[in-house]
Amino acid sequence: MTDRRDSASAPQGEFQALLDATVDAVIMIDHRGHIEAFNRAGERLFGYTADEVIGQNVSILMTATDRESHDRYMSRYMESRVPHIIGVGREVDARRKDGSTFPVFLSVGQIQDAVPPRFIGLLHDITLRREAMAAIRRERDRANLYLEIAQVFLLALSTDLRVQLVNRKGCETLLRREHDLLGRDWLEVAVPPSHRTAVRRVIEDVAISKDDATYVEYEVHDADGHRHLIGWRFMALRHADGFVTGYFASGENITHRRAMELSVERTQALLNEAQELAKLGNFEIFVGGDANAAAPFWSPQLYRIFGLDAPAAPDAAPNIEAIIERLIPKDRELLQNLWSQVCAEPAMREAELRLNGENQNFKQVQISLTSTAMGDGGMRIAGAVLDITEARRAADEARIAQERMTHVARLATMGEMTAGIAHELNQPLAAITNYASAASRLAALQARIGADPDGDLGSALTQIGEQALRAGEIIRRLRALVQNRETQRETVRVNELVEEVLGFARSDARLSEVQIVTEFDIGIPKFSLDRVQIQQVLLNLLRNAIESLASNPRDQRIVHVRTSHDDERILRIEVADNGPGVPEELVARIFDPFCTTKETGTGLGLAISRTIVAAHHGKLSHRVIPTGGASFTVELPSPNGGGE
């Protein structure tokens, strides 16, 4: 008996030792769910001792949810023998003695040949695993969140360049869904055919590069065929052994930025070209305050104007003191005063300066400066420099040409008035001849009879002198009118100036049987103007008026000459006639060069006259007289307000 008992207890002890050695909880239950065995791991896991649970229903180790369904499951299994848990592991929640719950992986098996049926359950605490999985999921979710909210294109490729990962930004850029991209050949799905070879070569270079990341720009096309320029940072993903396992890239859509940069570059190029054509340069300098807050700027054309070499550093500015010392010796004080004024008070100032040039020649430039007070107590000074050398030379040449042309026009006018001028001179010359003949006869008579030399002879000689002076005055005025000289203003009495012109025109008017009627404003103050040029204008107007009356009856040929002024110191000289007037089709262009109603006219008289009046800051205008004829008015402002 003893041997059998000993031999029977040995397997029982070995079985208990096996249960106690198992790290997972082992629970044996009968067909009613009562616990028959409970190992030490179970005691540690649940907080119960074996004595406390053996004989109890296994549901005391379950949560309320599983406890309600356990008995029904056991009853159903005993009837149908169809397992739902037995032989199939699953995760469930278990309940400790203190009421706390924890996750376990439960495996249930039936003991063969046991009657009635008995079952063994293995429970493995998966608390740490579940926490680890939860942490992994949180990190994964966080990583996915980063991928989704990233405003850059994120892309992962396999070694054969198939898409392994693409974020929301990438999908939005390509106008494709994620599942339409994953697993696809990247070059085929996103890269334009003309770029694929180059992109493949770039990725191959990344694989052999020792750099952490390589920057490259290439285009991708979206589902609609639109292209986007992406700036990529590519890096190779490597195994611990060093071989490439894939590629990761982040990309930024730089389409608009690059277009903006190109636009800025083009605008800058156009600006530089425009400044070169206009011979204009500009600069920006900061003085006082935080002078290092912004870099100074000098445009390329400014260096060319000053004849300087551009510095290697784009933010460097030349030494202003050195420029003034070397290039502006004649107007140095003028520039220094200008600079001081701008620095002292925010305002705009302008001046013309002479720059040292080659071969002792001087450049002329116009400099404009403006200043703005800065918040740090400093001053921003911006300036523009315009090379006006050629403009001044051209202006001088134009002035000389204009003077020559007006001189020629005066000569032409005098040529047209030759008959009248000859008549004007013949009068005093004929008188001189007559008085000289009479004086000779009187002298011979006096010699025979011994008469008193005083009387008729003295009177004749006096008349000879007066008529000679008259002829000389006519010649002097004629020479003054036709001589070629530079423009010069002088203060003149306007009515006297008009009378001098009428002296030439009246002889011509008498020959043409034209009556000149004058209406002078005796209150006109003296005006500063070029006497000869204004006389030329009036002579042109008078000649035109006289010639326009040729078709009128002899007793209806009248020219009116009027002078007037107003309170604004505007002088007006009007020449009006009662002729046929200017043809309607010529009114709009009557002052254009070569526009004329004369068969032999040049059409330059009125054009030159308007130019002369404009040079005096005045206006030459025409109006149609309703009763017939034309009126031309010269309006001249007094540059000094007039005065006696």
Got the DSSP string for 359-380? GG-EEEEEEEEEEEE-TTS-EE
At residue 261, does pLDDT exceed 50? yes
Indicate the burial class of 585 (C-beta count within 10 angstroms; 0-12, 13-18, 19 or more).
Answer: exposed
**Residue 25: CB partners within 8 Å, gap ≥ 6?**
39, 41, 42, 45, 46, 104, 122, 123, 124, 125
Going by C-alpha positions, the residue among 230, 208, 211, 212 that lies closest to residue 220 is 230
- In whole angstroms, give the CA distance from residue 219 to residue 229: 4
Instruction: State residue 643's pLDDT score.
Output: 44
CB atoms closer than 10 angstroms to residue 425 = 16
At residue 460, does pLDDT exceed 70? no
Give 275 or 635, the one with higher predicted confidence.
Answer: 635
Q: Kindly report which listed range (86-100, 222-236, 290-304) carries the lowest average pLDDT score.
A: 290-304
Cite the DSSP H helix spans in 450-490: 456-482
pLDDT tens digits for 170-218?
888 999 998 999 999 999 999 999 999 999 998 988 888 877 788 989 9
Q: pLDDT category, 345, cuts 50, 70, 90? A: confident
Instruction: State residue 7's pLDDT score.
Output: 43
- Model pTM? 0.42
Does a cis peptide bond (omega within 30 degrees of 0) precede residue 314?
A: no
Q: Kindly report which listed range (228-242, 317-331, 460-474, 505-519) carries the lowest average pLDDT score.
A: 460-474
The full 3-state SS of 17-56, as one line of letters, equals HHHHHCCCEEEEEECCCEEEEECHHHHHHHCCCHHHHCCC
Strand order in the sheet with 297-298: 297-298, 280-287, 379-387, 362-373, 348-356
pLDDT tens digits for 563-577?
998 876 788 999 999
Give 147 or 395, the one with higher predicted confidence.
Answer: 395
Exposure string for 561-576, b = 16+ CB within 10 A, e = fewer: bbbbbeeebebbbbbb
**Residue 349: CB partners within 8 Å, gap ≥ 6?**
338, 341, 342, 368, 369, 370
Mean pLDDT to the nearest integer, 519-545:
85
**Is-contact 399 406, C-beta < 8 A?**
no
Mean pLDDT to the nearest integer, 294-314:
74
**Is-contact 516 449, C-beta < 8 A?**
no
DSSP tag of 320: H
- In whole angstroms, give the CA distance from residue 159 to residue 178: 20
The full 3-state SS of 223-252, as one line of letters, equals CCCCEEEEEEEEEEEECCCCCEEEEEEEEE
**Is-contact 613 620, C-beta < 8 A?**
yes
pLDDT tens digits for 570-606?
889 999 998 888 887 777 777 776 666 665 555 667 7
**Is-contact 27 62, C-beta < 8 A?**
no
Give 355 or 198, the one with higher predicted confidence.
Answer: 198
Question: Strand 118-125 relative to strand 153-157: parallel, antiparallel, unpaired?
Answer: unpaired
Q: Kindly report which listed range (66-75, 373-382, 441-450, 566-575) carries the lowest average pLDDT score.
A: 441-450
Q: Which residue has the tokens 């002579």?
A: 539
Domain 150-253, classified CATH 3.30.450.20, yes or no: yes
Question: Strand 348-356 relative to strand 227-238: parallel, antiparallel, unpaired?
Answer: unpaired
Mean pLDDT to the nearest integer, 516-543:
85
Going by C-alpha positions, the residue among 252, 262, 261, 257 that lies closest to residue 173 is 252
**Is-contact 370 380, C-beta < 8 A?**
no
**Residue 347: CB partners within 8 Å, gap ≥ 6?**
341, 370, 371
- In whole angstroms, give the CA distance from residue 168 to residue 145: 10
Please state the φ and ψ torsions of residue 219, each to the nearest 5 degrees. Answer: -90, 150
Strand partners, 380: 286, 372
Mean pLDDT to the nearest integer, 611-640:
84
Give 211 or 144, the one with higher predicted confidence.
Answer: 211
Q: Which one-letter amino acid corresponds to residue 534?
A: I
Exposure string for 95-113, b = 16+ CB within 10 A, e = fewer: beeeeeeebbbbbbebeee
Instruction: State residue 526's pLDDT score.
Output: 86
Q: Counting every residue, how long is the chain? A: 644
Percent of the chain with pLDDT over 70: 71
Strand order in the sheet with 163-166: 163-166, 153-157, 244-253, 227-238, 214-221
487-644: CATH class: alpha beta
Cα 8 from chain centroid?
A: 104
Cα 106 from chain centroid?
A: 75
Instruction: State residue 501's pLDDT score.
Output: 82
At residue 227, does pLDDT exceed 90? yes
Cite the DSSP H helix spans in 81-167: 127-149
**Is-contact 539 634, C-beta < 8 A?**
no
Q: Which CATH superfamily is domain 13-131 in?
A: PAS domain (3.30.450.20)
Instruction: State residue 601's pLDDT score.
Output: 57
Question: What is the signed CA dihedral for 299, 304, 306, 312, rounded to 10 degrees?
Answer: 60
- In whole angstroms, give the CA distance from residue 254 to residue 212: 22
Average pLDDT, the chain: 77
pLDDT tens digits for 416-457?
555 455 555 666 666 676 666 666 666 666 656 665 555 555
Instruction: State residue 420's pLDDT score.
Output: 54
Q: pLDDT category, 243, cuts 50, 70, 90? A: confident
- In whole angstroms, give the CA distance from residue 610 to residue 602: 15
Q: Kindly report which listed range (156-170, 228-242, 353-367) carries the lowest average pLDDT score.
A: 353-367
Pick the CATH number of 280-387 from 3.30.1330.10, 3.40.50.970, 3.40.640.10, 3.30.450.20: 3.30.450.20
